[in-house]
Structure 1
Amino acid sequence: MIPAPEIPAAGGAQAPPFAAPSRAALRWLIGLRLVVISTLFLGILIIQVNTQQLLQLEQFYWLILVSYGLSLGYLVLYLRGLTTRLQAVIQLLGDIGVVTGCVYFTGGLYSPFSFLYLTVIMVAATMLRGGGLVFAGLSAIAYGVLVDLMVFGVVSVPANLAGVVVPLSSSRVLYQIMIHVVGFVLVALLVSYLSESLRTARSRLREETERAQQFVALTDQVVRSVSAGILAADLDGKVLHVNPAGARILMIADDTAVVGKPLEEVMPLVAHDWPSLRTRARTQLLGRLEDDLGDSGVRLGLSVGPLEDERSNLVGFIVNFQDLTALEIETERRRMRDRMAAVGEMASRMAHEIKNPLASISGSAQMLTSLGGLDTKDHRLLHIVVDESRRLSKILDEFLDYARPHQATHKPCNIAAMLRDCMDLLRRSAEITERHELSVDAPDELIVHGEEHLLRQLFWNLSRNAIQAMPDGGRLTVSAERRKSTAILVWRDTGVGMSEDVRQRAFEPFMTTNPYGTGLGLAVVYTAVEDHGGSIDIDSAPGRGTTITVELPLLPEVE
């Protein structure tokens, strides 16, 4: 974890004495100074215009002119990018000088404008952490030196105040200076404390805001990262939010476009209605429900529960859902593997028991054909026995080859080249007529780590099955493409298609609709795909042909 930054205590004891102010604060200070100077200048002009007596205000004009000049210099330093801390110190020192000049021209010790030092001290305490006491001391020194110089005659009294100033005793002068010094220090302490308290409050608020933002960002990232869909809706059933996984499941291109739409439109259910679900979900979490997503063919598993705010007030509903289609497919595949393993083991044992008597039958029939005294009919019947025994023995050999575990001899194989070879052989087979149209679309190279014999058998069985499904002719299209780290192979025919029952049982041993087939072709295909860590899927319906998709992992080094 990243430790939270330390927050300095009020008063600035643990902080550097001069924390750099922001550039925005400097802009405000320059602008405010110009406003004050311009207001003072305008007030002097109004006084001069409205009186018939000529007032001696030349000193104030010079003071205003100097202030404008200093402000121009501050602006140049700001534009040149001088460090903000140094700029603040320079400006505040200039302000002490201007205030000291104003106090001098208005009577020094008798001046009513000595309170202006307090504005400099307050600005310093606000802008510079610890700067209040520093500039309180500088203000006290400037004021005390000015008063001492005027009292001891080092600096003459301004001409406009000649004869007005009343001499005071040394104790009175010292008392006046001490009153100002104590006032400067007290104001500096008070404003520094308040400023530091404000800084601390702002720092804590900033930290809490950052923590809240981080928590919101983390929560949003978690919601976006989960594979399940999450949808929030208000009490009226209008969508407030849907995470990316939910948008993918609901086939929504832009998850923000559905905000404000009713649940019935965003997630239409077949067997449930949303008004009743919302009514029930106000007080309890509705357990796992299953339903179809409209007519999309997607099977959803979902739960609906109340959505509450931090005060436990009901503000809407939360829907958790996931696509069960892939889970059902995977469950069906597991059942298929278990069923095929059990059938294969049982049939393998039966095949071994059948082969031995079958060999005796075939051998005995062949010996009988060599004996004399048999007529033509007897010879024909014995030949039938021998031929059928051989055919049955071939079927048993094929099945034993299917059921027998294969020793892995995997090596890099270019399945794109294998596909083209398979289609060339198929074009030359006796099953192809002029009414059949074959095409193959594959890149030059698709390398998988596999057993070449099994892969060629896989391609041949699928291609031959497609041709047999088109006895009156049709089109067979075989395509192959690379999709990230997977090879996608597709056989698409325009044949008779399969019923749903046949499609679900297509990979079972001895399952066939061809009276001359063994029913082992697709079973061998399924086993070969499983051995190579891939997957196979059949999309078919009577009268609209069949599409078989095989996915095989590519070699990592050639991805």
Structure 2
Amino acid sequence: MGSERVIKDGDVERRSVLLYNIYRLVVLTSLLISAIIIQFSSPESEPNLPFYYLLFGAYAFSAIFFGLNVWGKGLAAQAYVQVVFDLLLITAFVYISGGLASSMYFLYLFPIIAASLVISGRAGFLAASLSAILFGGLADGLYFGFIPVFRPEHAVKASLGSMLVTIFIAWGVFFVIAALMNKLTGSLRRTREALRAAERELLVRERLSEAGRVSASLAHEIRNPLAAISGSVQVLKKELALSDEQKELMAIVLKESERVSHSLDQFLDFALPAKQVFSPINLRDILDETIKILRAGGELNGKVVLEGNFRTADVPYVGNAGQFKQVFWNLIKNAIKAMPEGGRLRLEFPEPRKKDVRIVVADTGRGMGPEARANLFQPFYSGFEN
């Protein structure tokens, strides 16, 4: 049955409670039509007036339930009250239609199904339990004489064994239906939640796609004058006689222009990704090339000790070499930044499992805080100041 939870109004839909009320009216109307047909087919029989009183009383309560549904408050409480009302009503129908000899105890199934669909699977089991108590109590009371027989002239005296068999069969049906509905409603709830999540994700993707197109256009507008500024500074640097301080300022301008241009390129790759080309590659070779570039740039120095089987592992794969190089570059640079005083960096290719490839990049740095973990897959997020 899963973990228990408190059913609140937000868990019960107004439309579902309304449909439950409509279904009750359909069942009541079917019973009324059946009673009228039976009455006309046997004109000599006396009309069962209490049966009609119960029917019209149920119609009156249904009208009240409709009004409460329009009010829209306390939907969970409304649903529970309607289930209990229906079970009491059905017990009364069973009583006036012959008790154990009545064929109307199948009506108990409707509130059990409704409780499961409208409220929860657990509510369906509660409805089945209450049905078992009411029907069992009515049967025992009639058999042992605690409850007077409604029409003694039509009473059928059953044996104790027959009574118990009828009760146990009814109980079994009640709880089997509750179990089946619990399984069904659980599946429906998971499907509904998955659909809602998919709808939210689709909406977010559409908004991001539109924002990406606008941002990409803006990035192009920034990159063009940025390239002009960078080119002009390079020309001025070559043609003018600059002091050391001015050369240093020029170098800063060029370096920052290159950094901004690189960031714009990364953003454009994310916002408007090009069609990826996949080809046979070896991840060991790509990782080795990335390490050489980092060593040549001085970012990977003697303070960081490399460990693992990355030099000897043979890892053939089909993918995009450029993207893997970027992934290795980002992971190793982040590991280096996390160990400003140096440390050990493990680069490992564990044994592949079936068709997947695992790559381990583990450092002895400061680790990731809650904020960094929460934003792990957010584009352009960095846990470092620089």
TM-score (norm 1): 0.39
Determine the structure 2 residue equivalent to 1:359: none
- Counterparts of 1:321-470 in structure 2, within 5 Å, are 342=240
CA contact (8 A) 2:142 2:149 kept: yes
Determine the structure 2 residue equivalent to 1:125: 116
User: C-alpha offsets along residues 290-343 of structure 1, whole Å, 9 cap, x if unaligned?
Assistant: xxxxxxxxxxxxxxxxxxxxxxxxxxxxxxx8799857875786588569x64x
User: C-alpha offsets along residues 453-512 of structure 1, whole Å, 9 cap, x if unaligned?
Assistant: xxxxxxxxxxxxxxxxxxxxxxxxxxxxxxxxxxxxxxxxxxxxxxxxxxxxxxxxxxxx
CA contact (8 A) 1:17 1:128 kept: no
Counterpart amino acid of residue 32 in structure 1: Y
Question: Is 1:18 equivalent to 2:7 in the alignment?
Answer: yes
RMSD between aligned residues: 3.0
Question: Is 1:191 equivalent to 2:181 in the alignment?
Answer: yes
Counterpart amino acid of residue 141 in structure 2: L
1:107 and 1:226 map into 2 onto residues whose CA distance is 78
Which consecutive unaligned segments of at least 5 residues does structure 1 have? 1-10, 229-244, 246-320, 347-404, 406-559
Determine the structure 1 residue equivalent to 2:155: 165
Determine which of 217, 224, 228 is the counterpart of 1:227: 217
CA contact (8 A) 2:32 2:55 kept: yes
Answer 1 or 2: higher relative contact order, Cα 8 Å, separation at least 6. 2
1:125 and 1:137 map into 2 onto residues whose CA distance is 13
Determine the structure 2 residue equivalent to 1:143: 135
Determine the structure 1 residue equivalent to 2:94: 103
User: C-alpha offsets along residues 187-237 of structure 1, whole Å, 9 cap, x if unaligned?
Assistant: 111211111122122222322332333233323322221236xxxxxxxxx
More helix by percentage: 2
Q: In structure 2, do the counterparts of structure 1 residues 336 and 30 end up closer, same or farther at CA, with 3 Å as the change threshold?
A: same
Counterpart amino acid of residue 189 in structure 1: A
Question: Is 1:179 equivalent to 2:169 in the alignment?
Answer: yes
Q: In structure 2, do the counterparts of structure 1 residues 220 and 105 end up closer, same or farther at CA, with 3 Å as the change threshold?
A: same
Question: Is 1:73 equivalent to 2:64 in the alignment?
Answer: yes
CA contact (8 A) 1:99 1:114 kept: yes
Counterpart amino acid of residue 117 in structure 1: Y
TM-score (norm 2): 0.55
Q: In structure 2, do the counterparts of structure 1 residues 147 and 102 end up closer, same or farther at CA, with 3 Å as the change threshold?
A: same
Q: What's the secondary structure of 1:119's corresponding residue?
A: helix
Larger Rg: 1
- Counterparts of 1:476-487 in structure 2, within 5 Å, are none
**What is the number of residues matched between the two proteins?**
240
Identity %: 27
- Counterparts of 1:522-537 in structure 2, within 5 Å, are none
Q: What's the secondary structure of 2:47's corresponding residue?
A: coil
Which range moved further: 145-154 or 85-94?
A: 145-154
Q: What's the secondary structure of 1:155's corresponding residue?
A: coil
CA contact (8 A) 1:17 1:131 kept: no
Q: In structure 2, do the counterparts of structure 1 residues 179 and 42 end up closer, same or farther at CA, with 3 Å as the change threshold?
A: closer
1:120 and 1:328 map into 2 onto residues whose CA distance is 73
